[in-house]
Chain A
Amino acid sequence: MSTLVLLTLTGLGLGALYFLIASGLALIFGLMDVLNFAHGAFLTVSAYAAWRTAETVGGTGGLALAALVGTATGALLAIVVELVLIRRLYGRPREQILVTVGLSLAVPALVQAVWGADSRPFPVPDALSGTVGVLGAQVPVSRFVLIAAALLVLAAVNLFLSRTRYGLIVRAGVEDRAMVTALGIDVTRAFTLVFAIGGALAGLAGVLGGLYFGSLSPHQGTSLLVFAFVVVVIGGMGSIPGVALSALAVGLVQQYANYYVDGYGDFAVVVLLAAVVLARPAPRLAGGVA
């Protein structure tokens, strides 16, 4: 029983991490039809920026500041990439893929050149390094931090989509971008905003990933991105609640399979993906966001 509780909470923590990455991917794809392979690079750079901050400041306050710095770094990076590179390439999917894949290779290499290829320990403050007893299981506190952060982000994204004018533009744009412009709305501003939100969430995921794994490495973002894409495909491009459920499923399946089927977690995720894709009657590429 205690093993199951530990696996479940760890799986939920991992699912929370996937959700933070995948929700940005889903919004960006849903609104702009851009498959952002550079999303993992945003995460990696943000994680290193957060790591430097946490190392320098130290303690719980240092981690809080690191979370801010990481989130801001992700947002800033995403805005620059959108304005400088992606903006010129709307409607040209091949070039977009080349550019974002290029970034996903170049940025980790750059990070590696600066901070080395070895993974670095992420400073976890004492307050978060302990465990909590839940039904006989000793669950690391950081799992709860991740789950809480993901729930907060889910609520915030839903509020943004349902209560703000830009959220309205995003939901409408996911359905029919051309018609949004035909109402006199400049969707390129919504594009930049959605890219910034996606980058900020990836940045936060970079910080929380450091907390979850206790370490960071130049290729962390890229490997997490693979699972985030799986989550998006299962959950439906452009559907935030779908992505949240799918992230939970992927995180749990991965954890359970890793323990009960001897480390076959990644394989189980692929099986889940195949099962969902084959069982689905028609591609759900266009769906409502909220």
Chain B
Amino acid sequence: MSTNPEPNSPPSPAPSPAPNPAPPPILSVRDLRVRIGQSSILQGVGFDVAPTGTTALLGRNGVGKTTTVRAVLGLLPEEGEVTGGTVRLDGEDVTGHRTHTVVRRGVGYVPEDRGVFGSLTVAENLTLAERAGGPHHYDLVHDLFPELKARRAQRAGTLSGGQQQMVALARALLNDNRLVIVDEPTKGLAPRVVTEVAEVLQRAAERVPVLLVEQNLAVVRRLARDAVVLDAGRTVHTGDAAALLADRERTTSLLGVGRHERPERSGQQAGERPGEREQREHATKETT
């Protein structure tokens, strides 16, 4: 379990001993502690997100990945609170700030359940996401998701799961962001759609750093440069993603792959729309 003796010390983002110092992280979380109701969900989460590329946040179900993301964004449920630690976005302390103020500093967020407004049209979902004062990259969005342009007048609730995920990603990429946080974007999607989402994320990561919560290790292998692993509300590993995934013993002990789950987890889903019950159960596990 203790692959990293000091989980809350800053990890070294540069895997090779480069002579020039590493650029400062875009997001820096230190010793984050969160209580929800009577339960301590996070008991010391710390990691950095590099200012370029994709950082994967990994761990088994219920270890606190979604809670970590939500705490960063000030989106904890009513009975939840940050009891310790700091969150710095581009060097500025945003710990405990209200969600819209954190987001306005330049964060795009794609939640686990996608958070698409089903009664609004695709175009209205995007209009709502337009942040004041910044350029809105409709050219990029329509280039990445030509289908959304064709379906702009359609109610988002009538789209397939994969199309809804495209709406959610499009909203996050519409503005000039300093960081995009994406929580389990491939969950419950058909393998073909998983590939599409991964391609979009790969192109997105060329423009903006991405913090990616993901269970599908094939997607992680393809996208992530750095990896952070949580277990029982603590950071237990930070380092190079490829090195972690190549180490079978470590992935088994940290992620439970091979014992509890197959690595191509979401590939098992046949349909594009995940069962609502499964999603709710999953969400409950993640946040409580």
A-side interface residues toward B, CB under 8 Å?
A: 91, 165, 168-169, 171-172, 175-176, 178-187, 287-290
Interface of B is mostly: loop
Residues of chain A within 8 A (CB-CB) of B115 are 176, 179, 182
Which residues in B have their C-beta under 8 angstroms from that of A178?
A: 75, 99
| New contact pairs (14) apart from A179-B111, A183-B128, A288-B118, CB-CB < 8 Å | A165-B127, A171-B120, A172-B117, A172-B124, A175-B117, A178-B75, A182-B100, A182-B109, A183-B100, A183-B129, A184-B100, A184-B104, A184-B131, A187-B100
Contact A182 B128 (CB under 8 A): no
Q: Which residue of A lies closest to B168 (CB)?
A: A179
Q: Is B139's beta carbon under 8 Å from chain A?
A: no
Q: Mark B170-192, 1 if CB is under 8 A from A, else 0.
A: 01000100000000000000000
Are B75 and A175 interface neighbours, CB within 8 A?
A: no
- Shortest CB–CB separation between residue B144 and chain A, in angstroms? 18
Chain B positions within 8 Å of A, measured between CB atoms, are: 73, 75, 78, 98-100, 103-104, 109, 111, 115, 117-120, 124, 127-129, 131, 171, 175
For A287, list chain B residues within 8 Å (CB). 119
Task: With CB as the reference atom, state the residue of chain B lying closest to A181.
Answer: B99
11 contacts between A and B (CB under 8 A): A165-B127, A168-B124, A168-B128, A171-B117, A172-B128, A175-B120, A179-B117, A182-B115, A184-B104, A187-B100, A288-B118
**B118 A181 Cβ-Cβ under 8 A:** no
Q: Considering only CB atoms, which chain B residue lies closest to A90 in the complex?
A: B78
How distant is the Cα of A185 from the Cα of B130 in the complex, in angstroms? 10
Name which of B103, B117, B175 has the most chain A CB atoms within 10 A of its CB.
Answer: B117
Q: Tell me, rounded to whole Å, the shortest Cβ–Cβ distance linking A281 to chain B.
A: 16
A residues in contact with B175, CB < 8 Å: 184
Shortest Cβ distance from residue B164 to the other chain A in the assembled complex, whole angstroms: 12
Contact A182 B103 (CB under 8 A): yes
Our pick among B98, B103, B119 for the contact of A183 (Cβ within 8 Å) is: B103
A31 to B192, CA, bound (A): 37
Is A183 a contact partner of B171 (Cβ separation < 8 A)? yes
How many Å lie between the Cα of A53 and that of B79 in the bound state?
48
Give every chain A residue within 8 A of B100 (Cβ-Cβ).
Answer: 181-187
Bound-state Cα–Cα, A171 to B73, Å:
22
B119 touches A171 (CB 8 A): yes
CA distance A289 to B109 in the complex (A): 25
Q: Which residue of B lies closest to A178 (CB)?
A: B75
**A182-B73 in contact given A91-B78, A168-B128 (Cβ < 8 Å):** yes
